[in-house]
Amino acid sequence: MKIFRDIISSRSNPTVKWAASLADKKGRCEAQSFIAEGEKLTLEALRRGLPVTHIFIVEGKEKRLLELIKPFNNDEKYLDCQVILLSEGAFSKISTEKAPQGIISVIKYLDFFKNMDIIYKEDFFISQGERALSLYSLRDPGNLGAVIRSAAAFGVQHIVLSWDSADVYNPKTVRAAMGTMFGIKITTVKDFASFIKAAGDNGRSVYAAELSENAKSISDINLSTEDIFIIGNEGHGIPTEISSVCTGSVYIPISEGVESLNASVAAAVFMWEQNKL
């Protein structure tokens, strides 16, 4: 690692402004990079050998935090990683946390996160035996991060997103996932209906999680680890043009008087049921 011990105090410093731009999707797309805040996320990224290019450390905490990342100083993957010390003012320009821990890493986009357009049978990207969950138009980045965290806990290895779902690299998503997104495949699909058809053509059942006229309780379907559940938008659910091409619809029985579950909670329940098999 290249450690720069001169403290940068200007919020207008070009490197500081560039790192701050990664809080927005436009900045992330231009740089093909995202930020991960806090000790846990930075250390997890380093342990997994992810492409960490910069580490920003706030003045006053440098002694302990430099010691924390010391085991990776001479790692061949990180010889060009820049470790930069910032004043509190400059650090706050980059941070999106209310109570920052004093360390922020910048990571290049992950090569196991993919974007795809139309999916044909022969293009189906979920490996045999690989457990998967899909999310349609899940807009809240915190919900997305929570789903990723639950997926890791319940053995789901692949998450499929519709193109209009929250950005997986959003700082809120990264924070809510608590480092679990560093070990899970995520594929964003533009033509979601083609993904459902390709899954069916490859022997997978795809269920829309919704309370519709013909929906069955989760306890009434012959569930398999190969099945894929679709969790819909927080407010509007799953549109009929998507649910109509699914194998069927399924719901979680809940108490009367309660309209629905939070999307991330519903996803966790479905994954837990599948994990029992």
Tens digits of residue pLDDT in 159-193? 999 999 999 999 999 999 999 999 999 999 999 99
Same domain, 164 and 228: yes
Q: What is the mean pLDDT of residues 140-160?
A: 97
State the Cα–Cα distance between residues 159 and 176, nearest whole angstrom: 16
Q: Are residues 221 and 123 in the same domain?
A: yes
Looking at the fold, whether 69 and 182 belong to one and the same domain comes out as no
Q: Pick from 87, 108, 129: which residue ends a domain?
A: 108
Question: Of 78, 108, 138, which closes a domain?
Answer: 108
- Which CATH number covers residue 123? 3.40.1280.10
Question: What's the pLDDT band for 31 if we cut at 50, 70, 90?
Answer: very high
Please check whether residues 201 and 255 belong to one and the same domain. Answer: yes
Q: Are 138 and 160 found together in one domain?
A: yes
- Whether 32 and 82 map to the same domain: the answer is yes
Beta strand 103-108 pairing with 33-37? antiparallel
Mean pLDDT taken over the chain: 96
Q: What is the pLDDT of residue 259?
A: 82
Backbone angles phi, psi at 258, to 5 degrees: -105, 120
The helix (run of H) or strand (run of E) holding residue 208 is strand 206-209
Residues 90 and 130 in one domain: no
**pLDDT the model gives residue 264:** 96
Give the model confidence (pLDDT) of 186-234 as tens digits.
999 999 999 999 999 999 999 999 988 899 999 999 999 999 999 999 8
Please say which residue of 108, 134, 154 terminates a domain: 108
CATH code for the domain in which residue 77 is found: 3.30.1330.30
What tens digit of pLDDT does each residue of 44-91 get?
Answer: 999 999 999 999 999 999 999 999 999 999 999 999 999 999 999 999
Mark whether 86 and 174 lie in a shared domain: no
User: Within this chain, do residues 57 and 133 fall inside the same structural domain, yes or no?
Assistant: no
Are residue 190 and residue 85 in the same domain, yes or no?
no
Checking if the pLDDT of 151 tops 90, the result is: yes
Asked if pLDDT for residue 122 goes beyond 90, the answer is yes
Predicted local distance difference test score (pLDDT) of residue 257: 86
Q: How far apart are CA 122 and CA 66, in angstroms?
A: 48
The domain total for the chain is 2
Residues 123-140, mean pLDDT to the nearest whole number = 96
My answer on whether 82 and 119 are in the same domain is no
Say what the pTM is.
0.94
In tens, the pLDDT along 75-84 reads 999 999 999 9
| Helical residues (DSSP H) of the chain, grouped into ranges | 14-21, 25-31, 39-47, 62-69, 88-94, 141-153, 171-177, 192-201, 240-243, 263-275
* Domain enclosing residue 153, as ranges: 113-275
Contacts of 23 (CB under 8 A, 6+ apart): 35, 94, 96, 171
- 118 and 253 housed in the same domain: yes
